[in-house]
Each structure stands twice: as structure tokens, then as C-alpha cells.
Amino acid sequence: MATSTPTGRSSGSRDASAGAVGVTVFAGILMIMAGAFHAFQGFVALINDQFFVVGKEYVFEFDLTSWGWIHLLLGIGVALAGFFLFQGAIWARTVAVVLACVSILANFLWMPYYPVWSLTVIAFDVFVIWAVTVHGRDVVKV
């Protein structure tokens, strides 16, 4: 049985760190933004094949229509995972980490088409993975 403290809270409960919640909320916002950016890249690749130009031959060269569908579907998934991250559920954190890893891989393979942006999204994804895994227990429903 948990004992009561002078503030009225039980000693068995764990208070959420405001900083940890803030970092996780920021990670969710970054996931929504990165997902939207993925979806826009995919949409542009589907509509206009000539927009993205690769300079040299690359081992992981795919058709731009294929990349368009990959980015569009991945973007929708990442944005939804970012939205559900606000719920504070363990499954949402797990899905967020998995989709951030897939996003890192996709952006690494997309690097010859849009190198600076790929590195930027990879940095976003690394931050998301860190924030969700380090501060996972401290998140409460917002």
C-alpha cells in the first residue's frame, strides 16, 4: 500500500518530469513535420519525375515513381505515429521508433537525390529515437 506524503500524493506514484514530457511532445511534433515533408517529397516525385535529378550513378538507384510511393506512404505513417505519440501509449512509442528507423534508412537511400534535406531528416529521426526511448516512462497523456 502506498503511503501519503504531506502534499497529498501517494509515495508509490511517479511524477512526470515536465522536461521529459516537453522533449517527447517536441519529438511528436517533429515526427508530424517529418512525415509531412516525406509525403510532400513523395507527392512531388509522383507528379513530376524531372524535379529530382541524380548526378552520378548510385548503387541504390530506383525509379522516381517508386521513391514517390515509398516517401508518400512512409510520410503518412510517420505523421500518424507522431500524432499517436501524444497519447503516451507504449505501442505508439514502439511504432515511432520503428518508423523513425525506417525513415533514416529511406533518407540514406534517397541521399543522391536530395542530400542536404536527407541529412536534415536523418537528424530529426535520431532526435526522435533518443527522445522517445530515453524519456518514455516519464510521459503522461497530454
Q: How far apart are CA 116 and CA 5, in angstroms?
A: 53
25-77 pLDDT, tens digit each: 888 898 899 899 889 988 988 888 777 766 666 666 677 788 889 889 999 99
For all residues of the chain together, what is the average pLDDT?
Answer: 79
The set of cell numbers assigned to 107 is 533518407
Within 8 A by CB and 6+ apart from 25, the residues are 86, 142
Q: Is 97 helix (H, G, I), strand (E, B) or coil?
A: helix
pTM of the model: 0.75
Domain ranges of the chain: 31-136
Lowest-confidence pick of 81-85, 98-102, 116-120, 131-135 = 131-135
Number of Cα atoms under 13 Å in the Cβ half of residue 116: 0
pLDDT at 140: 47
